[in-house]
Amino acid sequence: MEGGVRLRAGASKWDVREKVWEYLESSGLADFPRPVHRRIPNFKGAAHAATRLLGLQEFKAASTVKVNPDAPQKNARFLTLEARKTLLVPTPRLRTGLFNRIVPPPGATKEILRTCATSQGIKEYSVPVGLDGKARVDLVVVGSVAVSEKGWRIGKGEGYADMEYAMMVSMGAVQKDTPVVTVVHDCQVLDIAEELLDDHDLTVDYILTPTRTIKTNCKRPKPQGIMWHKVSYEMLEKIPILKSLRCKEKEAGKDVTLRDERSDSAHSDRPAAVDEQAAAEGARAQAAAGSAQLGPHSVESDALSPSLEGCGTITTVYVGNIPPSLRVSELKCALREFRATPLRLNWQGAQHRAFLDYKDKAAAESAVSSLKGLSLRGSTLRVELAKNQRNKGQVEINSE
């Protein structure tokens, strides 16, 4: 749009997110909660944009509507309740299940319904819906950071909307033709390269803005279930309901091999000579309690894994100027987006720094090049090769 968000050629998903968040804040369009960075951003005019739901035949015909819990969809939740439809809201970060069903008190007034549509109301007026709840969703409303008129969608980077939809498919709650709607500001509608989309990314059928209702006519298939080969052990631990779904699908004869398991199998099939070379790349260190994986072989730990200690080629990248509010999950997300996933991440958030181990100097230098200028939560990170590389398990910490 003229004077709006401008994307450089070859922009990554992370670039798109940062540009949208920055533009909403700088243009005065951002609304509470702020800053909108790292969120599905709320914007001025969100409530009006949501009223366009009332003009969709798919909404009129729907009995059950799933709406995400973010602020810009608050009015969509209210309108669903006001229309006396069943409202399902995903549980925060899928920690305790998949859905909560909002149950307003008998004779609820419009004001009470508005309260039910808030985050506090969701806590007070909801009941959980289990895997055997036989939920049938007729319309899905999701949040977006950016979306294209072709239906390509970019979320905030944590993948929960994609996972929610995949889980609904696995539960039989949605069908191939279940429409998906998103509510965004006009400035969030951008030309997004289809190459940025992965096969697990959710697309949308309708875009509602303060000025337009856009039918995307998207032909790209939506996820047809959980792609277990992209699910890690860490994700399984974070989202308990995934364990139950995995058991059900395993009993049904489906391949539920996890990403980590596939990697382990691939390494076990290698000749011994290759394994010696790949030991540093292929080890999955689980030594530290609470370790968190970035990829198949990445951990967050202060201690070296034995396989890394014995490797003389490991090259370490220093990441400094990490803002106090940054979470390790956000850094991991950025590393994945920029294809700079290390063998291991040593997170020292209290000291505003982290160390990334790569298999050799070439891989480390490539990561430094990719991450130069990366800004997270308003701070430009300092990214460079560590002054002294690992030698018998030791690394010199750069002074800030």
Residue 188 in any domain: the answer is: yes
Q: Find the CATH number of the domain harbouring 331.
A: 3.30.70.330
Residue in the structure block whose two tokens are 């069943």: 86
User: For residues 185 and 209, is the Cβ–Cβ distance under 8 A?
Assistant: yes
| Pair (147, 234) in one structural domain | no
| Pair (189, 326) in one structural domain | no
Residue 347 in any domain: the answer is: yes
First to last CA, the chain: 41
**What pLDDT sits at residue 275?**
37
Two tokens at 226? 């959980």
Number of domains making up the chain:
3
For residue 63, count other CB atoms closer than 10 A to its CB: 11
**What pLDDT sits at residue 54?**
97
| Pair (293, 322) in one structural domain | yes
In 3D space, the residue among 4, 217, 15, 43 whose CA is nearest the CA of residue 143 turns out to be 43
In 3D space, the residue among 252, 255, 250, 315 whose CA is nearest the CA of residue 280 turns out to be 315
Residue 246 in any domain: the answer is: yes
| Pair (35, 126) in one structural domain | yes
**What pLDDT sits at residue 373?**
75
Domain-ending residue, one of 215, 247, 267: 215
| Pair (91, 184) in one structural domain | yes
**Three-state SS annotation for the chain:** CCCCCCCCCCCCHHHHHHHHHHHHHHCCCECCCCCCCCCCCCECCHHHHHHHHHHCHHHHHCCEEEECCCHHHHHHHHHHHHCCCEEEEECHHHCCCCEEEECCCCCCCHHHHHHHCCHHHHHHCEEEECCCCCCCCCEEEECCCEECCCCCEECCCCCHHHHHHHHHHHHCCCCCCCCEEEECCHHHECCCCHHHCCCCCCCCCEEECCCCEEECCCCCCCCCCCCHHHCCHHHHHHCHHHHHHHHHHHHCCCCCCCHHHHHHHHHHCCCHHHHHHHHHHHCCCCCCCCCCCCCCCCCECCCCCHHHHCCCCCEEEEEECCCCCCCHHHHHHHHHHCCCCCCEEEEEHHHCEEEEEECCHHHHHHHHHHHCCCEECCEECEEEECCCCCECCECCCCCC
**What pLDDT sits at residue 372?**
79
Q: How far apart are CA 317 and CA 331, in angstroms?
A: 14
| Pair (170, 205) in one structural domain | yes
**What pLDDT sits at residue 399?**
35
**What pLDDT sits at residue 229?**
85
| Pair (369, 234) in one structural domain | no
Residue 274 in any domain: the answer is: no
**What pLDDT sits at residue 305?**
37
**What pLDDT sits at residue 376?**
79
| Pair (166, 251) in one structural domain | no
| Pair (137, 160) in one structural domain | yes
By the 10 Å C-beta count (0-12 exposed, 13-18 middle, 19+ buried), 111 is classed as exposed
Residue 372 in any domain: the answer is: yes
Two tokens at 368? 């430094």
Residue type, 203: T
Q: Find the CATH number of the domain harbouring 74.
A: 3.40.50.10420
Residue 199 in any domain: the answer is: yes
Query: pLDDT 10s digit of each residue in the chain, 400 long?
Result: 445 888 887 888 999 999 999 999 999 999 999 999 999 999 999 999 999 999 999 999 999 999 999 999 999 999 999 999 999 998 876 766 678 899 999 999 999 999 999 988 888 898 888 666 577 899 999 999 999 999 999 998 877 788 888 888 888 889 888 999 999 999 999 999 888 988 888 999 999 999 999 999 998 989 888 888 888 887 777 777 788 788 888 888 888 888 777 655 554 444 433 333 333 333 333 333 233 334 433 334 433 333 444 445 789 999 999 988 888 888 887 888 677 889 999 999 888 899 999 988 889 988 888 887 777 776 788 999 987 544 333 343 333 3
**What pLDDT sits at residue 171?**
83
User: For residues 310 and 358, is the Cβ–Cβ distance under 8 A?
Assistant: no
Residue 268 in any domain: the answer is: no
| Pair (41, 132) in one structural domain | yes
- How many residues belong to the chain? 400
Dihedral Cα 93, 94, 98, 103, nearest 10 deg = -50
Q: Which domain holds residue 291?
A: 279-385
Q: How far apart are CA 291 and CA 294, in angstroms?
A: 10
Residue 338 in any domain: the answer is: yes
**What pLDDT sits at residue 392?**
33
| Pair (205, 239) in one structural domain | no
| Pair (211, 233) in one structural domain | no
- pTM attached to this predicted model: 0.66
